[in-house]
Amino acid sequence: MNDMRILERAVSQTDIKISARKVQVYYGEKHALKDVDVDIQDKTVTAFIGPSGCGKSTFLRCLNRMNDTIDSCRVEGRIALDGEDIYDKRVDPVQLRARVGMVFQKPNPFPKSIYDNVAYGPRIHGLARNRTELDEIVEKSLRGAALWNEVKDRLAEPGTGLSGGQQQRLCIARAVATQPEVLLMDEPCSALDPIATSQVEDLIDQLRSEFSVVIVTHSMQQAARVSQKTAFFHLGNLVEFGNTDDIFTRPHDPRTESYISGRIG
Amino acid sequence: MTDATNPAAPVERPSLLVPDARTAKRNAAEARFRAYGLSAIIISLLALVVLLFTIFAGGAGAFRQTFLHVPVTLDAAQLDKKGNGDIEDIKKVMTLTYGKLLDQSVQDLIAKQGITIEGLTDKDVANLVSKEASAQLRNMVLADPSVIGQTVDARVLVNGRVDGYFKGRVTMESAARDSNTSPAQLQLAETLKDKGLLAKEWNWAFLTNPDASDQRPEAAGVGVAILGSLYMMLVVLFLAVPIGVAAAIYLEEFAPKNRLTDIIEVNISNLAAVPSIVFGILGLAAFINFAHLPQSAPIVGGLVLVLMTLPRIIIPARAALKAVPPSIRDAALGVGASKMQSVFHHVLPLATPGILTGVILGLAQALGETAPLLLIGMVAFVKNFPSAPPAGLFDPASALPVQVYNWTQRADPAFMERASGAIIVLLVFLLCMNLFAVFLRRKFERRW
């Protein structure tokens, strides 16, 4: 693991943003996720790693209730955002998702202009009072997603006309524009080439200064590069959760060790 | 082990230049399949060509009609007896008077041109012009009473048999056996044609006239039928399209997936396959017998077509919604859009071309539907134009396909030509709608 550039950045913030306790997820009869306890700290990048089908994406989608759209999916346990249970009956998932943004595995810009893609969230949430404010939000978000210089002259062009890496950064800008507190990223780099990947990774590191980021990834190197906390999932169980350096250098569980050294997964 | 292969024997490698038996067989199968496909296309194209040729050959005549140009002296003594030019008094003069006037004018014309034909009777001369011609003349005078007293050059319809003679439908031999015409009358027409007084001309009246009685096919037109079809399309457009699209959106995007929605889905598919005449019976029972709406009215026809068109709009609209990639829905939900916002801002615009195509094809199908309309009395003979909507929706009207059916039932072969002409009109409308559907699809798909 010599090529890994582990960020020795001190985790200064210890506020807990999201706390999950005894989370169970069922797809119909299938018990997909068992007894997951995770605390996600504010202004921290938390990585979920594990082999395919281990439940890491499922758990990520629980955090902003995207699983609600799947009819057969059932979630038990308690997930709290700032101490409030997000699965409470009174919680409107729409309101929750404005605070917990999401970036998907495949870049999925709307078939609208670059500007409208970014402005959509602020518009529906009423974050801008007038056009000038909206312009500001769009510019700030695109800058935040390291895309401004590439697209500032063609904001009216369709977002679907950008390259894959630019599209993904556009999706990040779109998520950032709603000013979320937590940003969930579901394998954001799996459809990107190495250069675009490193751009997105740099971006994730910058985003950490404003809110907490949760990233699901297949690549252990990526987890090691960008995250401060890592959770290792295996067959629906949370095997190990801790500081990224500890997980990669001194794993407690033999399964974690096998996975990071390439023996399973 | 019992391995019998001798490693020393060289393996026979077949040449690539010669196809082996299996490859030849597979290639032959592919060639046969292509031949089947090609012949299927050729057969269907031939059938289409024959169909279109028959219709156009038979129906083109309806757009060209034989007219006689005859100078008519509009005698003030007969047409405006009181001589005060009052329109009410002029209206009291019946068509019969104009008929006599016209007869006399034709007689005078023949005398003036010095035409003498053996065996030509007064009846032949009187019947040369259409029975509709005197009514045309009367309408002309009523529209502009100032022409009374003058001699006008009237352009009047010629009897259907004479018209048929110039279109090759009537011959001298058949005229000899026909009580409605005679060889002498046809000779007269021929002579008038040579003198340039009688000619086949473009016939706008076919598109604007209402239907005419059995005796005067030359005056029949599709005007009322076009208007009736248009009114019914309006009803379908304003009822079936919003209801159908809303039902499709609800079922596809919002409805829970349970047994009830499964049953609804199966029933919608079934409704699309129900024979259209069944909808006619339903319309008769529900709208006419129960709701007491008037017979032969476009509103009833339109409502029946709405019922029939609904499943044909819902099914393609649902398919179009289903075809929108789920990643767009995820993206919208991910930035905190509500279900409704994600549907109306993102899913619906992407599904619009598909939905529109379904809508227009559903409308086109409704335009050509005949069977249900027969049952609700749209096949009646309608001479008066319906008034403007919405009141006109309750007036009796005909419809294009029903008019075609009606004309094919008449005895006079001149109506066959009219029926083919009406089919041409219907096909032109259908073609326009389909082209519009293609245009819409292109326009919306090219946006991104």
Q: Provide DSSP, B163-230.
A: HHHHTTSS-HHHHHT-TT--HHHHHHHHHHHHTTSEEEEE-THHHHS----TT-GGG--SHHHHHHHH
Q: A218 and chain B: CB distance < 8 Å anywhere?
A: no
Q: For the domain with range A16-108+181-260, which CATH number is right: 3.40.50.1110, 3.40.50.11290, 3.50.50.60, 3.40.50.300?
A: 3.40.50.300
Position A13 confidence tier, pLDDT thresholds 50, 70, 90: very low
Question: Shortest CA distance to B275 belongs to which of B229, B308, B236, B300?
Answer: B308
Are the Cβ atoms of A104 and B330 closer than 8 angstroms? yes
Position A185 confidence tier, pLDDT thresholds 50, 70, 90: very high
Report the residue of B329, B335, B341, B446 to disrupt the A interface, i.e. the one with the largest count of A CBs within 10 Å.
B335
Q: B347 and chain A: CB distance < 8 Å anywhere?
A: no
Give the separation between CA A10 and CA A23, rounded to whole angstroms. 29
Q: Write out chain B residues lying below 8 Å of A124, CB-based.
A: 335-337, 341, 345
State whether residue A113 is helix, strand or coil.
Answer: strand
Q: What percentage of chain B exceeds 90 in pLDDT?
A: 28
Q: B345 and chain A: CB distance < 8 Å anywhere?
A: yes
Q: Write out chain A residues lying below 8 Å of B338, CB-based.
A: 94
Q: A121 and chain B: CB distance < 8 Å anywhere?
A: yes
Are the Cβ atoms of B333 and A69 closer than 8 angstroms? yes
Q: Is the pLDDT of residue A113 over 80?
A: yes
Domain boundaries for CATH 1.10.3720.10 within chain B: 223-445
Q: Is the pLDDT of residue B282 over 60?
A: yes
- Backbone φ and ψ for B268, nearest 5 degrees, come out as -65, -45
Cα nearest neighbour of A95 on chain B: B336
pLDDT, tens digit (0-9, with 9 covering 90-100), for A206-232: 888 888 999 998 888 888 899 999 999
pLDDT, tens digit (0-9, with 9 covering 90-100), for B83-111: 776 777 778 778 888 888 888 888 888 88
Q: Is the pLDDT of residue A193 over 90?
A: no
Strands in B286-411 per DSSP E: none
User: Residue B48: what pLDDT?
Assistant: 95
Are the Cβ atoms of B335 and A71 closer than 8 angstroms? no
Q: Is the pLDDT of residue B82 over 60?
A: yes
Q: A122 and chain B: CB distance < 8 Å anywhere?
A: no
Are the Cβ atoms of A108 and B328 closer than 8 angstroms? yes
Position A3 confidence tier, pLDDT thresholds 50, 70, 90: very low
Give the separation between CA A180 and CA A100, rounded to whole angstroms. 5
Position B163 confidence tier, pLDDT thresholds 50, 70, 90: confident
Q: How far is A34 from chain B (nearest CA, A)?
A: 25
pLDDT, tens digit (0-9, with 9 covering 90-100), for A139-178: 999 988 888 888 989 999 988 889 888 899 899 999 989 8
pLDDT, tens digit (0-9, with 9 covering 90-100), for B390-425: 777 888 888 899 999 989 988 888 888 899 999 999
User: Residue B90: what pLDDT?
Assistant: 78
Position B197 confidence tier, pLDDT thresholds 50, 70, 90: confident
User: Residue A9: what pLDDT?
Assistant: 47
pLDDT, tens digit (0-9, with 9 covering 90-100), for A17-66: 899 999 999 988 888 888 889 999 888 999 999 888 888 888 999 998 98
Selecting from A69, A94, A171 the residue whose C-beta is nearest the C-beta of B336 gives A94
User: Residue A139: what pLDDT?
Assistant: 92
Question: A175, A183 in Cβ contact below 8 A?
Answer: yes
- In whole numbers, what is the pLDDT of chain B averaged over residues? 86
Tokens 């309309």 map to which residue? B373
Q: Write out chain A residues lying below 8 Å of B345, CB-based.
A: 120, 124
Position B429 confidence tier, pLDDT thresholds 50, 70, 90: very high
Are the Cβ atoms of A108 and B327 closer than 8 angstroms? yes
User: Residue A10: what pLDDT?
Assistant: 46
Q: How far is B312 from chain A (nearest CA, A)?
A: 28
pLDDT, tens digit (0-9, with 9 covering 90-100), for B334-380: 888 888 999 999 999 889 888 998 999 899 999 988 888 888 887 77
User: Residue B37: what pLDDT?
Assistant: 97
pLDDT, tens digit (0-9, with 9 covering 90-100), for B306-317: 999 999 999 999
Q: Is the pLDDT of residue B7 over 60?
A: no
Domain B223-445, CATH homologous superfamily name and number? MetI-like (1.10.3720.10)
Q: A255 and chain B: CB distance < 8 Å anywhere?
A: no
User: Residue A264: what pLDDT?
Assistant: 63
Q: How far is B238 from chain A (nearest CA, A)?
A: 30
Which residues neighbour B50 within 8 Å (Cβ) at sequence distance 6 or greater?
none
| Size of the A and B interface in Cβ pairs below 8 Å | 68
Q: Write out chain B residues lying below 8 Å of A125, CB-based.
A: 336
Position B4 confidence tier, pLDDT thresholds 50, 70, 90: low
- Backbone φ and ψ for A33, nearest 5 degrees, come out as -140, 130
Restricting to A residues 177-196, those with a Cβ less than 8 Å away from any Cβ of B are 177-178
Q: A101 and chain B: CB distance < 8 Å anywhere?
A: yes
Are the Cβ atoms of B336 and A110 closer than 8 angstroms? no
Q: How far is B316 from chain A (nearest CA, A)?
A: 22
Q: Where are the domains of chain A?
A: 16-108+181-260
Q: Is the pLDDT of residue B45 over 90?
A: yes
Alpha-helix runs per DSSP H in B250-338: 259-273, 276-283, 298-322, 326-334
Q: A66 and chain B: CB distance < 8 Å anywhere?
A: yes
Cα nearest neighbour of B349 on chain A: A111
Position B303 confidence tier, pLDDT thresholds 50, 70, 90: very high
What's the one-letter identity of residue B26? R
Q: Write out chain B residues lying below 8 Å of A119, CB-based.
A: none
Position A265 confidence tier, pLDDT thresholds 50, 70, 90: low
pLDDT, tens digit (0-9, with 9 covering 90-100), for B46-71: 999 999 999 988 888 888 888 888 88
State whether residue B373 is helix, strand or coil.
Answer: helix
Q: Is the pLDDT of residue A11 over 70?
A: no
User: Residue A14: what pLDDT?
Assistant: 60
Are the Cβ atoms of B448 and A158 closer than 8 angstroms? yes
Are the Cβ atoms of A104 and B350 closer than 8 angstroms? no
Question: Which range scores top for mean pLDDT: A186-195, B31-40, B283-292, B302-311?
Answer: B31-40
Question: Shortest CA distance to B307 belongs to which of B333, B268, B352?
Answer: B268
